[in-house]
Structure formats: structure tokens, C-alpha cells
Amino acid sequence: MTLFEISLIIAITIISLGILLAIIRLIMGPFLPDRVTAFDLISANVIAIIAIFAVLSGSYQYFDVAVLLSLIIFFGAVSFTYHMNKVIKKRNEKLDEQLEESEYKDKLFQ
Amino acid sequence: MDLFIEIISSILILIGAGFMGIASIGMLRLPDFYIRMSAITKAATLGTGLIILGIVIYFNDLVIAGKGFVIFTFTILTSPVAAHIISRAATRKGVPFWGKTDVKEFEGYLKKYRRVELEKEDIY
């Protein structure tokens, strides 16, 4: 084992510890955006691990996986926020209806 | 010459891994969703870029350099966009700010798009 391989293994260890920390945030994150961000960070770390593993194993076909992952992650975040925006819009419309009803009731009871 | 290339690339990869570790620590430790977001987008992008630069230097090949360039470009293009979208949705959802954050210039937007009275009723 050369010095270069040892340094690569150290780098993989650091990044794996980072994934562990991000998983803790993924579990305890108080809101959905926290979880989406934690997942983003995890996938960035996975990209880095795959790229380093391509060097360690000496076969650079693994590099294509990193290219694909870096594309897919973005679509994941975008679809999550699309869903969130839909839910928020529905909630706001419901709130508007409730406000209108309550004003109407106030006028009735006066 | 081989030893020189290995030393340079291993130093770059170690620095990049350090940045990724710092980003993860910031993800866990920082007080607020928006502050965490800023920590992640900068440090993780820089870490990925440094690691891929080190690998490209090590392989010393044109095809690998092209693929590395593609990865780096996608990361640098998409990570700020994704961060902006997520934090915009979070602001509209009503994720609370840190107590020390100065939101004075931001109040108009918050009043327009954020229903403060609904913060207690959590959908998620």
C-alpha cells in the first residue's frame, strides 16, 4: 500500500463521517427543507466517494456514475420543492377562504 | 515526476475531503436552516471541485478531464439554483429565522407571502 492509497482511504473515511453527521440531521431535522438539504449533502458526499473509489480501484468507468448522480440530485431537489409549493398554495387558499367566512360571520352577528 | 503528481493530487483530494467534512459539521451544528444552507452550498461545492481536480491531475487523461469538467460544471450550476429554490419554498412555508438574523429589509416579502399565524399548524 503506497502513501497515495493511504491518503485516499483517509479522505474516504472523512467523507463517510460527514455522511453520518448528515444522516443525524436527516433524522432530527425539524422541517422538510432541512431534510431535503441533508439529502443533498449526502448525495454530494456520495459523488465524492465514488470519484475517489474510481482512483482506488483503477477503473475509471465509475466516473460515469458520478456524472449521472450529479444530474439526478438536482432533479430530486426540484421535484421536492415543486411538491412543497403545491401544498403551501393549497394551504394559503384554505386560509383565505377561512378569513372570508369569518368576516362574513362577524358582519352577521353585529 | 510520477511521485510529484501523486503528491499534488493527494493533497488536493485531502483538502477537498476536509471541506466536505466541514460542510457536514456545519450542517449539524449551525443554528438556523438558512445559515446551514449557505454553509452547505459553498463548502460542499468547493470540496467536490477540489476532489475532482485532484483525480483529473492523477489520471492525466483527456477523457477523464472532460468528464471531470462535466461534473464540476453541473455541480457549480445546479447547487446554487437548488439552494435558492429550497430556501424560497422554506420562506413561504414559514420556517423560522434565527433570533439574531436581521430581517428588516425583508419584511415586505414576509408579510406578502408568509402566513405567520399558520406557523403553529405544521403540515410536515
Each residue's pLDDT tens digit, A65-84: 888 888 888 888 889 889 88
B12 touches chain A (CB under 8 A): no
Please tell me the distance in Å from A108's CA to the nearest CA on chain B.
24
Residue A105: the pLDDT is 59
Inter-chain residue contact B123 with A52, CB threshold 8 Å: no
User: What's the whole-number mean pLDDT along residues B73-90?
Assistant: 89
Give CA angle at A19 (B21, B83), nearest 5°: 80
Chain B environment of A102 (Cβ under 8 Å): none
Number of structural domains found in chain B: 1
Instruction: Report phi then psi at A35, rounded to 5.
Output: -70, -40
Contact B20, A15 (CB under 8 A): yes
Please tell me the distance in Å from B31's CA to the nearest CA on chain A.
12
Could you list the beta-strand ranges (E) of chain B: none
Query: Which of A14, A73, A88 lies nearest to residue B92, judging by beta carbons?
Result: A88
Chain B environment of A21 (Cβ under 8 Å): 24-25, 27-28
In the predicted model, is pLDDT for residue A95 greater than 50? yes
Q: For chain B, report the end-to-end CA distance as a whole number of angstroms.
A: 56
pLDDT band at B18 (very low <50, low <70, confident <90, very high): very high
Q: d(Cα B20, Cα A45) in Å, to the nearest integer?
A: 7
Residue A102: the pLDDT is 67
In the predicted model, is pLDDT for residue B113 greater than 80? no
Lowest mean pLDDT among A14-28, A37-51, A87-101, B20-34: A87-101
B58 touches chain A (CB under 8 A): yes
Residue with cell 456520495: A46
Inter-chain residue contact A74 with B13, CB threshold 8 Å: no
Contact B54, B12 (CB under 8 A): yes
pLDDT band at B10 (very low <50, low <70, confident <90, very high): very high
Q: d(Cα B89, Cα B33) in Å, to the nearest integer?
A: 12
Inter-chain residue contact B74 with A37, CB threshold 8 Å: no
B2-29 vs A32-57: helix crossing angle, rounded to 10: 160
Q: Which domain holds residue B68?
A: 2-123
Residue A110: the pLDDT is 46
User: What's the whole-number mean pLDDT along residues B23-42?
Assistant: 89
Q: What per-residue string of b and e applies to A65-79 under the rule 16 or more CB within 10 Å gives b?
A: ebbebbeebbeebee
Residue with cell 511521485: B3
pLDDT band at A15 (very low <50, low <70, confident <90, very high): very high
pLDDT band at B118 (very low <50, low <70, confident <90, very high): very low
Q: Which three cell numbers stand for residue A30?
A: 425539524
Q: d(Cα B20, Cα B16) in Å, to the nearest integer?
A: 6
Instruction: Report phi then psi at A74, rounded to 5.
Output: -60, -45
Q: What percent of chain A has pLDDT over 90?
A: 29
Domain ranges of chain A: 3-108
ipTM: 0.84
Inter-chain residue contact A91 with B51, CB threshold 8 Å: no
Residue with cell 479522505: A11
